Homo-oligomer: A and B are copies of this chain.
Amino acid sequence: MSGAAPHLGAEGATPAAKGQTTYVDAIREGLREEMARDERVFLLGEDIGVYGGAFKVTDGLIAEFGEERVIDTPISETAIVGAAVGAAMMGMRPVAEMQFIDFISCAFDMITNFAAKSRYRHGVGVPLVIRGPSGGGVHGGPFHSQNPEGYFAHTPGLKVVQPATAYDAKGLIKAAIRDDDPVLFFEHKFLYRRIKEELPAEDYVVPIGKAAVRRAGRDLTVVTYGAMVWTALEAAKTLEAEGIDVEVVDLRTLFPMDENTVLESVAKTNKAILLHEATRTGGIGAEIAAVLSERCFEYLDGPLVRVTAPDTPVPYSPPLEEAFLPNAEKVCRAARALAAY
């Protein structure tokens, strides 16, 4: 784990200790630093300027950089992403916000057909970033809780990242902005104000395409990303007491995936749980299973087990959403069965 171990799990936000940076502040810091160092970087989206964004991710940036570089747009996801594509082709570095990541569906064509395929079609790179809050746990209902990263991981030409820590949130947003290809940056809204850690004072990036081993273990590997990293760590703690030693791999970049780190881990532990909050069929877990069963077959001492949300929309009412979301208990159950296998 980079930096101090972040706090997680409290229902409300706890004020950051002196010197500690929350996940949401880390993203803002990353944006601010990149805007300061590179005048090509600009932001556009709904209510990101004057209001500072629905989750205040861009709070204060319009005051610092002006409304030419922090643009409040109409409610037009296709125009937001489309304008970002055009500007990126001109050498700019646009960062487009989706107010909730669910609305990315309204820009699906622009992202998967224009942005993703441009370099391949004629060598015209599209260095844009699309970012926004994804994920559940806050009773947002079917349209404010989705995890659509799987769609985009099935789209060649895109890069897809999702940070689990404040350190990575800052380092990955900076890397995403500097990347020469379109990067989709999925934030997890549950983490915004629930985790924090001390960040380095100096400039750093977290390279796109590199996973991190968050906890070393011998008995089985949990491959996961985003908020579920914390769920995996929580489960690992419980399981440790039971004598099951879990390794936790945080993918950080979902596409193109750091297959080597996953393979090395599972080649060592010989068993794997694939954990994500997105729905099961066709999710990132399926891809990891495919990679492992193709490239790591001889090392597998047990079935590959997915712990994911079921194949349903995200329900709104707390008891329903709780049933829907993966949690540490569900991971523990799967891990016990797998360890005993």
A contacts, CB < 8 Å to B: 102, 105-106, 108-109, 112-113, 116-117, 120-121, 142-143, 150-151, 153-154, 156-157, 255-257, 274, 279, 281-287, 289-290, 292-295, 297-298, 300, 302-306, 310-313, 315
Cα A208 to Cα B221 in complex, Å, equals 37
- A150-B303 CB under 8 A given contacts A142-B117, A143-B113: no
Cα A154 to Cα B287 in complex, Å, equals 12
With both beta carbons as reference points, the residue of chain B lying nearest to A312 in the complex is identified as B156
Q: Which of A154, A289, A294 has the most CB of B within 10 A?
A: A154
Q: Which of A150, A274, A286, A287 has the most CB of B within 10 A?
A: A286
Cα A310 to Cα B156 in complex, Å, equals 9
Contacts of A290 in B (CB 8 A): 274, 285-286, 289-290, 304, 306
Contacts of A302 in B (CB 8 A): 297
Contacts of A142 in B (CB 8 A): 113, 117, 120-121
Min Cβ gap A267→B in Å is 13
Min Cβ gap A317→B in Å is 12
Cα A295 to Cα B303 in complex, Å, equals 7
Min Cβ gap A269→B in Å is 15
- CB of A287 within 8 A of CB of B294, answer no
Contacts of A298 in B (CB 8 A): 303
- CB of B105 within 8 A of CB of A109, answer yes
Cα A239 to Cα B109 in complex, Å, equals 41
Given contacts A105-B109, A286-B286, 13 further A-B contacts (CB under 8 A): A102-B113, A105-B113, A117-B313, A154-B154, A156-B281, A156-B310, A255-B282, A256-B281, A256-B311, A282-B282, A282-B286, A293-B293, A294-B303
Min Cβ gap A40→B in Å is 26
With both beta carbons as reference points, the residue of chain B lying nearest to A301 in the complex is identified as B297
- CB of A294 within 8 A of CB of B283, answer no
Contacts of A151 in B (CB 8 A): 151, 154
Cα A306 to Cα B293 in complex, Å, equals 10
Cα A121 to Cα B315 in complex, Å, equals 8
Cα A108 to Cα B287 in complex, Å, equals 22
Closest 6 CB pairs of A and B: A154-B282, A289-B290, A108-B108, A297-B303, A105-B109, A156-B311
- CB of B287 within 8 A of CB of A121, answer no
Query: Could you write out 10 A-B pairs with CB less than 8 Å apart?
Result: A105-B108, A113-B143, A150-B282, A156-B281, A156-B312, A157-B313, A282-B284, A282-B286, A293-B300, A297-B303
Contacts of A311 in B (CB 8 A): 156, 256
Contact partner of A153 (CB less than 8 A), chosen from B117, B282, B284, is B282
Contacts of A289 in B (CB 8 A): 286, 289-290, 293-294
- CB of B283 within 8 A of CB of A154, answer yes
Cα A121 to Cα B141 in complex, Å, equals 10
- CB of A106 within 8 A of CB of B105, answer no
Min Cβ gap A235→B in Å is 19
- CB of B282 within 8 A of CB of A120, answer no
With both beta carbons as reference points, the residue of chain B lying nearest to A151 in the complex is identified as B151
With both beta carbons as reference points, the residue of chain B lying nearest to A77 in the complex is identified as B109
With both beta carbons as reference points, the residue of chain B lying nearest to A117 in the complex is identified as B313
- A297-B300 CB under 8 A given contacts A105-B108, A105-B113, A156-B313: yes
